[in-house]
């Protein structure tokens, strides 16, 4: 048996005909930059996220979504942005790209999300923004701190690249990842829960003026063609990707539900095989609707050996993330050292992502967990 970490073809099968039809329409129209397909997809995302008209702005990638979001709140050289070291590189890469300073604080050992109390303690007079990540598809409890950040003049930008469709129930109200802070950022990289056939991204904001500004920033800061109010970038959501994503969006809830069922079944299997001393299943905070972009367990011992053993037996597993961002060579100039963020550092030695994707079979999960049991018990 060979079980890949991700097999996109299993879910693509069910949408292929619809996507082909939609692309043929686009090829007939030969209109590939912005236009109707992008507008339609933006509108459907607004409906899905239950946010007002014109608050979603498609762009070229999740990385650009972060960059545009930071530009839209005037992040400048020397400004501080509080963020997590346990995430994909783009979260801090974009901060540094603008000459601003990523200020790291550690994460929670159960959810892997940024420790919000420590984030509040990291505020200085230079702090302009707080940039939490809803890691692996589970939302941070932003409601606990958002008002205090705002009172202290700090904007909140959500990196929801892994969390399109994740939500959290707060006092009976549903909050959607990306639609809680001042600006929310999504990625449609092919491996994301809502993934295109290439790069894509989106920024959302409930502030009408900021949304207008984002629409200008994605076309070189130009409101009227060839007239530039400010210096922007070239970062449009490709019409081809928009047409594809628009079809896939209709299946997103179904696919996220499939991932949640897979997560439930892993949890059950870990118990049935009495593996709790070796594998800690990911925690889902009360109120959270986790969409399991990744199913990440903590392995108490010999993580790398286990990964190799699984690989030898046809089961692929991955480490997200092997080196926290404060220890990356490119961020040496920030002056952090090993030991600064013990939870993130320990996680980088213990985490292991197991296959989770729509279409993964229970028999494949059975075989994988049996293989884990064999590794630890022989
Ligand atoms: C994927 C990802 C990004 C970047 O998205 P791209 O579309 O690949 O540029 C940013 N942040 C996080 C947490 C991600 O997982």
DSSP per residue, 141-153: -GGGTHHHHHHTT
Could you tell me the distance, in angstroms and rounded to a whole number, from the CA of residue 19 to the centre of ligand 1? Answer: 24
**Is ligand 1 within 6 A of the CB of residue 159?**
yes
Q: Which atom of ligand 1 is nearest to the CA of 293?
A: 15
Residue 320 CA to residue 348 CA, distance in Å, equals: 7
Report which DSSP code applies to 238.
B
| Contact indicator for 85, 348 with CB cutoff of 8 Å | no
Could you tell me the distance, in angstroms and rounded to a whole number, from the CA of residue 373 to the centre of ligand 1? Answer: 33
Could you tell me the distance, in angstroms and rounded to a whole number, from the CA of residue 212 to the centre of ligand 1? Answer: 23
| Contact indicator for 65, 187 with CB cutoff of 8 Å | yes
pLDDT, position 103: 98
The kind and range of the H/E element at 167 are strand 167-170
pTM of the predicted model, to two decimals? 0.98
Tell the residue nearest (CA) to atom 7 of ligand 1: 62
Could you tell me the distance, in angstroms and rounded to a whole number, from the CA of residue 215 to the centre of ligand 1? Answer: 20
**Is ligand 1 within 6 A of the CB of residue 61?**
yes
**Is ligand 1 within 6 A of the CB of residue 162?**
yes
**Is ligand 1 within 6 A of the CB of residue 91?**
yes
Pick from 64, 84, 86, 91 the residue to mutate for probing ligand 1's pocket: most ligand atoms within 8 Å of its CB.
91
pLDDT, position 113: 98
Residue 112 CA to residue 343 CA, distance in Å, equals: 9
**Is ligand 1 within 6 A of the CB of residue 133?**
yes
Q: Which atom of ligand 1 is nearest to the CA of 133?
A: 13
E-state strands within 165-248: 167-170, 173-176, 183-187, 201-204, 222-224, 227-228
The partner residues of 234 in beta bridges, in order of sequence, read 219
Query: Which phi-psi region, left, alpha or beta, contains residue 4 (left: φ > 0; alpha: ψ -120 to 50)?
Result: beta
**Is ligand 1 within 6 A of the CB of residue 201?**
yes
pLDDT, position 1: 85
pLDDT, position 263: 98
Comparing C-alpha atoms, which of 239, 261, 230, 318 is closest to residue 27? 239
Query: Which phi-psi region, left, alpha or beta, contains residue 195 (left: φ > 0; alpha: ψ -120 to 50)?
Result: beta
Write the DSSP string, 110-161.
Answer: TT-SB-HHHHHHT--TTEEEEE-B-GGG----GGGTHHHHHHTT-EEEEE-T
Could you tell me the distance, in angstroms and rounded to a whole number, from the CA of residue 83 to the centre of ligand 1? Answer: 14
Residue 183 CA to residue 71 CA, distance in Å, equals: 11
Q: Is 201 helix (H, G, I), strand (E, B) or coil?
A: strand
Which pLDDT tens digits describe the chain residue by residue (378 residues)? 899 999 999 999 999 999 999 999 999 999 999 999 999 999 999 999 999 999 999 999 999 999 999 999 999 999 999 999 999 999 999 999 999 999 999 999 999 999 999 999 999 999 999 999 999 999 999 999 999 999 999 999 999 999 999 999 999 999 999 999 999 999 999 999 999 999 999 999 999 999 999 999 999 999 999 999 999 999 999 999 999 999 999 999 999 999 999 999 999 999 999 999 999 999 999 999 999 999 999 999 999 999 999 999 999 999 999 999 999 999 999 999 999 999 999 999 999 999 999 999 999 999 999 999 999 998
Residue 338 CA to residue 37 CA, distance in Å, equals: 47
**Is ligand 1 within 6 A of the CB of residue 108?**
no
**Is ligand 1 within 6 A of the CB of residue 189?**
yes
Residue 49 CA to residue 178 CA, distance in Å, equals: 9
**Is ligand 1 within 6 A of the CB of residue 186?**
no
């Amino acid at each position: 048996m060979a079980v890949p970490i991700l097999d996109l073809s299993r879910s693509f099968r069910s949408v292929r005909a619809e996507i082909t039809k939609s692309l043929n329409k686009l090829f007939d129209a030969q209109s590939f930059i912005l236009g109707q397909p992008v507008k339609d997809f933006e509108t459907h995302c607004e409906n899905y996220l239950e946010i007002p008209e014109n608050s979603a702005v498609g762009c070229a990638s999740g990385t650009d979504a972060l960059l545009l979001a930071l530009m839209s709140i005037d992040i400048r050289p020397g400004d501080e942005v509080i963020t997590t070291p346990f995430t994909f590189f783009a979260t801090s890469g974009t901060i540094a790209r603008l000459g601003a300073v990523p200020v790291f604080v550690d994460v929670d050992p159960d959810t892997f999300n940024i420790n919000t109390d420590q984030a509040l303690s990291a505020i200085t007079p230079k702090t302009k923004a707080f940039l939490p990540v809803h890691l692996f598809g589970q939302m941070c409890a932003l409601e606990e701190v958002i008002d205090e950040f705002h009172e202290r003049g700090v904007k909140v930008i959500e990196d929801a690249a892994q969390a399109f469709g994740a939500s959290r129930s707060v006092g009976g109200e549903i909050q959607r990842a990306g639609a809680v802070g001042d600006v929310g950022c999504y990625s449609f990289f092919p491996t994301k829960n809502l993934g295109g056939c290439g790069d894509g991204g989106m920024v959302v904001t409930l502030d009408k003026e900021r949304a207008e500004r984002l629409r200008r920033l994605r076309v070189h800061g130009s409101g009227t063609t060839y007239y530039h109010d400010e210096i922007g970038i070239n970062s449009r959501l490709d019409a081809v990707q928009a047409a594809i994503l628009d079809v896939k969006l209709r299946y997103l809830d179904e696919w996220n539900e499939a991932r949640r069922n897979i997560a439930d079944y892993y949890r059950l299997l870990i118990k049935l095989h009495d593996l709790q001393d070796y594998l800690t299943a990911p925690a889902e905070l009360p109120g959270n609707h986790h969409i399991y972009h990744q199913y990440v367990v903590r392995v108490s011992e010999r993580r790398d050996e286990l990964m190799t053993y699984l690989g030898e037996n046809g089961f692929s597993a991955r480490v997200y993330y092997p080196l926290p961002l404060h220890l990356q060579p490119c961020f040496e100039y920030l002056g952090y050292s090993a030991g600064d963020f013990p939870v993130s550092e320990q996680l980088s030695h213990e985490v292991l992502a197991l296959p989770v994707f729509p279409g993964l079979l229970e028999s494949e999960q059975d075989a994988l967990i049996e293989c884990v049991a064999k590794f630890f018990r022989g």
